[in-house]
Amino acid sequence: MSDLIWTGSLNDAYEIGGSVGLYDTTLRDGEQTVGVVLDPAQKLEIARLLDELGVDRIEAGFPRVSDDDWQAVERIAAAGLRAEVWGFSRAVPADLEALVELGVSFSVIESPISDLKLDAIGVSREKMLERITSAMRFAAEHGIHAAFFGVDSTRAERDFYDRVYSSAVEAGAKEVVVVDTLGIASPEAVAELVGHTVGLVDVPVHFHGHNDFGVATASAVAAVRAGASYVHGTINGMGERAGNANLGEVALTLRALYGVESNLRLDRIRDVSARVRELSGYELEPWKPVTGETLYRRESGAVASQFHDPQSIEPYSSQLVATGRSIVLGKKSGLDSIRIKAEELGLDVPEERRAEVLAAVKKLGAEQRRLVTDDEFRGIVG
């Protein structure tokens, strides 16, 4: 795989190495994208795709949100997936009882722990701590492998944060999640808090980040460097506001730039990305890393002149993400663009005609303010 990554030696001094687990929350946090509604059959389809993709843990949903969510969790839990199927619950009895009824063996259990959140819902620190420890004891007594999920933990006061996470583990939490609910933490701050938490509790630590300042991938990397065992994310980075960490981008960045392996199959990520987009009804920027439409399409004539040598114009091979490379024609094309496109289409364009054809291509692209289609190119050549 390393022969498909062409990043040079600059990053070698910052290599992390090892491996990390990937926890996908597309079906719960991702569905919180404004306007996205997935039915149980669609969620089951996505869960199967995530399983084939190599995701280690799939959060099937929050069963008490609606009947559809209940059915989705029930179907996914019974689907025989290789990935661990996780539920999602608040630290309230009815949510926990639903997990028991559904037979869910793994679950995140959330509670807000920042003073801003507690004041907004009118609950004291002591009352919330009591709810959390009670929920963790309930989960342990009923055989649920629970991870405590402190909502807005990156804005919690450190003294209360320490009490909550230590008490949750003492009460039965098997794992804990550092949660940057509003995406407010810098990567350096994430590294500090995750490292602090790794030293505080003797259980695996996850990181769950949002992308409000565009640093969710960098924060995920920082969390791994600080000792996080799992990183949370979604397909395409979907989620509320600016979305969650993009699981495909996180996996590629960790592997290519930091030498951290995961079980994610990068050769499947573009297909899964496209299908999730189709089911959810949204589009992505065409220049997105990993899954963008224009990642391996070249219009610039200067770049086309180097098209024969992928390492000179690309940081990693198109084979890594199982897609093709192509030259497209337009205002920014050059003579090599004409030569390559003509060869691709089996057209005879002698060298002495290329400047004339290029001029016509550039004129049409500029006038129409778009790319020139293959059929239009054939017409120009003809």
pLDDT in the model for residue 1 = 63
Rounded to two decimals, the pTM is 0.94
> Residue 74 and residue 71: Cα distance in Å, rounded?
5
Q: What phi, psi does 318 have (nearest 5°)?
A: -60, -25
SS3 content of the chain, % helix, strand, coil (to 5): 50, 15, 35
How does pLDDT run across 144-153, given as a tens digit for each residue? 999 999 999 9
Averaged over 337-362, what is the pLDDT?
Answer: 95
Averaged over 164-174, what is the pLDDT?
Answer: 98
Q: Where are the alpha helices (DSSP H) in the chain?
A: 40-53, 67-77, 93-102, 115-121, 125-141, 158-170, 187-200, 216-225, 247-258, 269-280, 301-304, 310-313, 335-345, 354-368, 374-381
Averaged over 2-17, what is the pLDDT?
Answer: 95
pLDDT in the model for residue 81 = 97
Confidence of residue 56 (pLDDT cuts 50, 70, 90): very high
Which amino acid is present at 339? Answer: R
Is pLDDT above 80 for 203?
Answer: yes
Give the domains, in start order, of the chain with CATH numbers.
17-280 (3.20.20.70), 297-381 (no CATH)
What is the number of other CB atoms lying within 10 angstroms of the CB of residue 116?
11
**Encoding tokens for residue 365?**
């692209």
CA-nearest of 231, 234, 229, 253 to 244 is 234
Please, what is the end-to-end C-alpha distance for the chain in angstroms?
A: 43
Averaged over 257-268, what is the pLDDT?
Answer: 98
Is pLDDT above 80 for 2?
Answer: no
pLDDT in the model for residue 372 = 96
How does pLDDT run across 83-129, given as a tens digit for each residue? 999 999 999 999 999 999 999 999 999 999 999 999 999 999 999 99
Q: How many CA atoms lie within 13 A of 209 on its CB side?
A: 32
Which amino acid is present at 266? Answer: L
Chain centroid offset of residue 292 CA:
14
How does pLDDT run across 280-318, given as a tens digit for each residue? 999 999 999 999 999 999 999 999 999 999 999 999 999
CA-nearest of 79, 133, 140 to 107 is 140
> Residue 18 and residue 343: Cα distance in Å, rounded?
45
Averaged over 189-211, what is the pLDDT?
Answer: 98
